[in-house]
Chain A
Amino acid sequence: MKWFSSLWQTLGKPALTLSLGFIAISAFIMGIVFWGGFNTALEATNTEEFCISCHSMESKPYQELQQTVHWSNHSGVRATCPDCHVPHDWSRKIARKMEASHDVWGWLFQTVNTDEKFEAKRLEMASREWKRFDRDNSLACKNCHDYKSMKWDSMSPLAQKQMKRAAEIDQSCIDCHKGIAHKLPDMGTARAPELIAEVGSGVTPSVGESYFSALTKPLYLDATSTEEAGTLNVATKVKVLETKGKRVKVAIEGWRKRIGAGRVIYFDFGVNILSAELSLDAAKTQNLIRTFEEKQDPMTGLMWERVEADIWTDADYLLGDIAPLWSYAKTTYSSSCSVCHTQPEEAHFDANTWPGMFQGMLAFVNMDQDTQALVQKYLQEHSATFNKDAH
Chain B
Amino acid sequence: MKRRDFLKGLMSASCMAIGSTSLLSPLNALAAPRGRDEWLTTGSHFGAFKIRRKNGVIAEVKPFELDKYPTDMIKGIKGLVYNPSRIRYPMVRLDFYKNGHKSNTAERGDFRFVRVTWDEALQLFKESLDEIQTKYGPSGLHAGQTGWRATGQLHSSTSHMQRAVSMHGNFVKKIGDYSTGAGQTILPYVLGSTEVYAQGTSWPLILKNTKTLILWSNDPVKNLQVGWNAETHESFGYLAELKAKVAKGEIRVISIDPVETKTQAYLGCERLYINPQTDVAMMLAIAYELYQQKLYDAEFVKGYSLGFEDFLPYLLGKTDNTPKTPEWAEAICGVSAATIRDLAKVMVQDRTQIMMGWCIQRQQHGEQPYWMAAVLATMIGQIGLPGGGISYGHHYSSIGVPATSAAAPGAFPRNLDEGKKPLFDSNDFKGASSTIPVARWVDAILEPGKTIDANGSRVTFPDIKMMVFSGNNPWNHHQDRNRMKQAFQKLEAVVTIDVNWTATARFSDIVLPACTTLERNDIDVYGSYANRGILAMHKMVEPLFDSLSDFEIFTRFAAILGREQEYTRGMNEMQWIEQLYNECREANKAKYPMPDFATFWKEGYVHFGEGEEWTRHADFRADPEINPLGTPSGLIEIFSRKIAAFNYDDCPGHPMWMEKKERSHGGPGSDKHPLWLQSCHPDQRLHSQMCESEEYRATYTVKGREPVYISPEDAKARGVKDGDIVRVFNDRGQLLAGAVISKRFPKGVIRIHEGAWYGPVGKDGSKEGGSEIGALCSYGDPNTLTMDIGTSKLAQACAAYTCLVDFEKFEGKLPEVSSFTGPVEVTL
Q: Which of B156, B198, B634 contacts A257 (CB 8 A)?
A: B634
Q: Give the residues in chain B near A160, CB-CB below 8 Å.
A: 418
The one of A259, A338, A361 in contact with B415, judged by C-beta atoms closer than 8 angstroms, is A338
**Does B557 lie at the interface of the complex (its beta carbon under 8 Å from any beta carbon of A)?**
no
| B198 close to A359 (CB less than 8 A) | yes
Contact of A299 among B144, B173, B199, B641 (CB under 8 A): B641
Bin chain B's interface residue count. 35 or more
Q: Which residues of A contact B417 (CB under 8 A)?
A: 157
Contacts of A341 in B (CB 8 A): 146, 158, 177
- Shortest Cβ gap from B424 to chain A (Å): 19
B630 near A359 (CB under 8 angstroms)? yes
* In the complex, chain B residues whose CB is within 8 Å of the CB of A354: 630
Chain A residue, CB-CB nearest to B458: A391
Q: How far is the CB of A171 from the nearest CB of chain B, in Å?
A: 19
- Is A360 interfacial (CB 8 A cutoff)? yes
Chain A residues whose C-beta falls within 8 Å of the C-beta of B411 in the assembled complex: 338-339
In contact, A361 and B197 (Cβ under 8 angstroms): yes
In the complex, A340→B158 CA distance in Å?
9
CB-CB under 8 A for A356 and B634, given A342-B146, A342-B162? no
The B interface is mostly helix, strand or loop, or mixed, namely: loop
Partner pick for B626 among A263, A353, A362, CB 8 A cutoff: A263
A387 in contact (CB, < 8 A): no
Q: Are A352's CB and B193's CB within 8 A? A: no
Which residues 239-278 of A sit at the B interface, judged by CB distance below 8 A?
Answer: 257, 259-261, 263-264, 272, 277
Alpha-carbon separation in the docked complex, A117 to B195 (Å): 49
Scan residues 291-326 of chain B and give those whose CB is less than 8 A from a CB of chain A.
306-307
Closest to B159 in A: A338
Find B144's partner among A259, A342, A359 (CB 8 Å cutoff): A342
With an 8 A cutoff between CB atoms, is B184 at the interface? yes
Contact (Cβ within 8 A) B631 A356: yes
B residues in contact with A298, CB < 8 Å: 641, 645
* B435:A300 contact, CB within 8 angstroms: no
In whole angstroms, what is the CA distance A356 to B632 when docked?
9
Q: Decide if B187 is an interface residue (CB 8 Å cutoff).
A: yes
Q: How far is the CB of A359 from chain B (nearest CB, A)?
A: 5
Q: In the complex the two chains form, is A360's CB within 8 Å of B587's CB?
A: no
Query: Which residue among A301, A338, A342, A355 has the maximum number of chain B CB atoms within 10 Å of its CB?
Result: A342
Residues of A within 8 A of B433 (CB): 391
B187–A356 CB distance below 8 A? yes
Complex Cα gap A72–B144 (Å): 46
In the docked arrangement, what's the CA distance between A302 and B625, Å?
A: 13
Given contacts A158-B418, A339-B410, A357-B194, contact A363 B188 (CB under 8 A): no
Whether A301 and B306, one on each chain, are in contact in the complex, defined by CB atoms closer than 8 angstroms, is yes
Nearest CB of A to B459, in Å: 8
A-B contact count (CB 8 A): 139
Say yes or no for A344: interface residue by CB 8 A criterion.
yes
> Are B642 and A299 touching (Cβ within 8 A)?
yes
Indicate if A345 sits at the interface (CB-CB under 8 A).
yes
Chain A residues whose CB sits within 8 angstroms of the CB of B501 once the complex forms? none
Q: Are B194 and A360 interface neighbours, CB within 8 A?
A: yes
B residues within 8 A CB of A357?
184, 188, 194, 630
Pair B415/A264 contact, Cβ less than 8 Å: no
Contact partner, A300, options B187, B196, B641, Cβ 8 Å: B641
Identify A360's interface contact among B193, B228, B403, B410, CB under 8 A.
B193
Kindly state whether residue B569 has any CB partner on chain A within 8 Å: yes
Contact call A356/B645, Cβ cutoff below 8 A: no
Q: Find the residue from A261, A272, A363 having the highest chain B CB count within 10 A.
A: A363
CB pair A363 B199 closer than 8 Å? yes
> Which residues on A sit within 8 Å (CB–CB) of B482?
none
CA distance A301 to B415 in the complex (A): 40
Which chain B residues lie closer than 8 Å to A189 at the CB level? Answer: none
Query: In the complex, A182→B803 CA distance in Å?
Result: 66
Residue from A157, A361, A364 in contact with B408 in the complex, judged by beta carbons closer than 8 Å: A364
Taking a contact as CB atoms under 8 Å apart, the answer to whether B197 and A360 are in contact is yes
Q: Is the CB of B414 within 8 A of A342?
A: yes
B529 contacts chain A at the CB level, 8 A cutoff:
yes
Judge whether A259 and B192 touch: CB under 8 Å.
Answer: no
Cα distance A113–B307 in the bound complex, in angstroms: 67
For B191, give the chain A residue with the smallest CB separation.
A356
B residues 436-474 touching A (CB-CB < 8 Å): 456-457
Residues of chain A within 8 A (CB-CB) of B403 are: 363
Instruction: Report yes or no: A335 in contact with B415, Cβ–Cβ below 8 A.
Output: yes
Interface residues of B in 160-196 (CB under 8 A from A): 162, 173-175, 177, 184, 187-189, 191-196
What string of 1s and 0s marks CB contacts (under 8 Å) between B609-633 and chain A? 0000000000000001110111111
* Chain A residue total in the interface (Cβ 8 A): 49
> For A343, what are the chain B residues with a Cβ–Cβ distance below 8 Å?
415
A262 and chain B: residue at smallest CB distance: B625
The smallest beta-carbon distance between A206 and chain B, in angstroms, is: 32
Residues of B within 8 A of A356 (CB): 187-189, 191-194, 629-631
Known contacts: A356-B187, A360-B198, A391-B433. The answer to whether A272 contacts B634 by CB under 8 A is yes
For residue A359, which residues in chain B have a CB less than 8 angstroms away from its CB? 192-193, 198, 630
Please state if A342 and B153 are interface contacts (CB–CB under 8 Å): no
Across the interface, do B569 and A360 meet the contact criterion of CB distance under 8 Å?
Answer: no
Q: Is the CB of B712 closer than 8 A to any CB of chain A?
A: no
Contact B173 A362 (CB under 8 A): no
| B434 part of interface (Cβ distance < 8 Å) | yes
Known contacts A356-B194, A391-B434; A156/B569 CB under 8 A:
yes
Instruction: Tell yes or no: A161 within 8 A of B by CB.
Output: yes
Question: Smallest Cβ distance from A66 to chain B, in angstroms?
Answer: 16
User: Given A261-B625, A264-B628, A356-B192, A301 and B413 touching (CB < 8 A)?
Assistant: no
CB <8 Å contact, A391 and B435: yes
Q: In the complex, what residues of A have CB within 8 A of residue B569's CB?
A: 156-157
Inter-chain contact B413/A391, CB cutoff 8 Å: no
Distance between Cα atoms of A340 and B412 in the complex (Å): 11
How near does chain B come to A339, taking the closest CB pair, in angstroms?
A: 4
Binary contact readout A361-373 vs B (1 if CB under 8 angstroms, 0 otherwise): 1111010000000
Cross-chain contact B153 with A360 (CB below 8 angstroms):
no
With A359-B193, A359-B198, A366-B587 as given contacts, are A345 and B630 in contact (CB-CB < 8 Å)?
no
- Among residues of B, the one whose C-beta sits closest to the C-beta of A261 is B625
CB of B313 to closest CB in A, whole Å:
16
B519 to chain A, nearest CB (A): 23
Smallest Cβ-Cβ distance to A344: which chain B residue: B175
CA gap between A263 and B628 in the complex, in Å: 12
Q: Is residue B407 contacting chain A, with contact meaning CB distance below 8 A?
A: yes
Instruction: Say whether B187 contacts A302, CB under 8 Å.
Output: no
Across the interface, do A331 and B413 meet the contact criterion of CB distance under 8 Å? Answer: no
Question: A348 in the interface, Cβ–Cβ < 8 Å?
Answer: yes
Residue from the list B162, B457, B626 in contact with A277, Cβ < 8 A? B626
A161 in contact with B418 (CB, 8 Å) = yes
A360 and B196 contact, Cβ closer than 8 Å, known pairs A335-B413, A338-B415, A342-B414: yes
- Which residues in window 203-229 of A have CB below 8 A to B? none
The reply to whether B192 and A157 form a contact with Cβ atoms under 8 Å apart is no
The listed residue with most B CB atoms (<10 A of its CB), out of A161, A350, A352, is A352
Q: Are B625 and A342 in contact (CB under 8 A)?
A: no
Q: Does A127 have its Cβ within 8 Å of any Cβ on chain B?
A: no
Docked-complex contact B188 and A342, CB < 8 angstroms: no
A299-B645 in contact (CB<8A):
yes
Given the contacts A340-B228, A360-B184, A366 and B408 also touching, CB distance less than 8 Å? yes
Give CA–CA (A299, B414) in the complex, Å.
Answer: 36
Task: Determine whether A334 belongs to the interface, using a CB cutoff of 8 Å to chain B.
Answer: yes
A261-B625, A366-B587 known; A360 and B630 CB under 8 Å?
yes
- Known contacts A272-B632, A338-B413; 9 additional CB pairs below 8 A are A338-B415, A339-B414, A344-B175, A345-B434, A345-B435, A352-B642, A356-B188, A360-B630, A366-B587
Shortest Cβ-Cβ A-B pairs, 5 listed? A356-B188, A360-B194, A355-B630, A356-B630, A360-B193
Question: What are 23 A-B residue pairs whose CB atoms fall within 8 Å in the complex?
Answer: A161-B418, A264-B625, A297-B632, A298-B645, A300-B632, A300-B637, A300-B641, A301-B307, A339-B414, A342-B146, A342-B173, A343-B415, A344-B175, A348-B175, A350-B456, A355-B188, A363-B197, A363-B198, A363-B199, A363-B529, A366-B410, A391-B434, A391-B457
